[in-house]
Structure 1
Amino acid sequence: MNRYAAFLRGIMPSNPNMKNDRLRGVFEGLGFEGVGSVLSSGNIVFRSPETDVPALESRIQEALNRELGIGGGTLIRGYGELKALVDADPFEGLEHCRETYLTVTFLKHDAPPEDGLAEIDPTVRVIGYDEGVRAVLWVVDNSQPTPDFMTWLDKKYGKDITTRTFLTVQRVLKKLES
């Protein structure tokens, strides 16, 4: 049985259709096992014998749209991909805190950024691109006004992306291991 994490885009916990119990219900209704949620921002873990990740993403997104009216996006990563990312410790020596966010932006498709990515905003430092998990890894300086990096990412990669803190990714991995 394969272990997966679904990172759902555009989840707002204040919307009754986007609450964890409703999200888990869609996954359980699709026949997945071991369904659980991590925090309240659209992180769902589950087990499935299926191995076609793009088909899983489409199937889940169609069900979320049909049953809850959620049109965001679904990006799935397998346990091994997330474990490799966390074990690589891409933010070595850096601390996630109020002033500094360690952040992972998952891309639907493999599209490494160009060299000029680091010049987008002075409050953003790109650590790199992790090919294994298809994600841009970056650090944002929150002591400055919020950067427009998220808008830039949307323009560059489209809406088939979603961003989580590295702490959230670590929590998701821990839930997959339990």
Structure 2
Amino acid sequence: MIYIYNDYGGTHTTSLAAAYHLKQLPQSERKLTPEEIMNVNYFNQLTKKDFGKLIFHGIDEDGHSVYTIGRKRNKLVVPALKELTLLLQNRFQINEKFVFSNTSPTVPMVMSIGGFLSRGLKIDSIGVPLLLKGAQQCCDNIYRLVENTKQVAKNPTNENVIILENEIYK
């Protein structure tokens, strides 16, 4: 199975989701510390040139690969990846299940502003504190989103590609 967490930039909520998925963060709904957040691989580190790239984060405890992707505002990226995946699965008889999980619903406004200031305008002195505040606000929702993603993926289905648009998990 291959998990791909996706959102606008691919560097904040997706990186946190991948870290939760890979058990690199505490497996609970508690608020993360600023140090825990800043130590997450790729958190606030990707740039414009990384949009659309699949970023490998690791292999989970069940041997499944975990990736992230920043898709910008383009809602066609995930459907296009689904079609490409189905084509490759049919052409090469690949039986791997793919799970695309959208982390965008977890993003609070303060995180969006912080990301724009830090990644877009390169004003880290204002952007990073806002990002940290936003990450602390949404980390419990991201944790629940990851747990739901894993549960849905484990449910028996005939679908080889699952797309989860998600909602805020409370």
Question: By the TM > 0.5 criterion, same fold?
Answer: no
Higher RCO, Cα 8 Å, sep 6+: 2
Q: TM-score, normalised by structure 1?
A: 0.30
Q: TM-score, normalised by structure 2?
A: 0.31
Between Structure 1 and Structure 2, the one with more strand by share is 1
Between Structure 1 and Structure 2, the one with more helix by share is 2
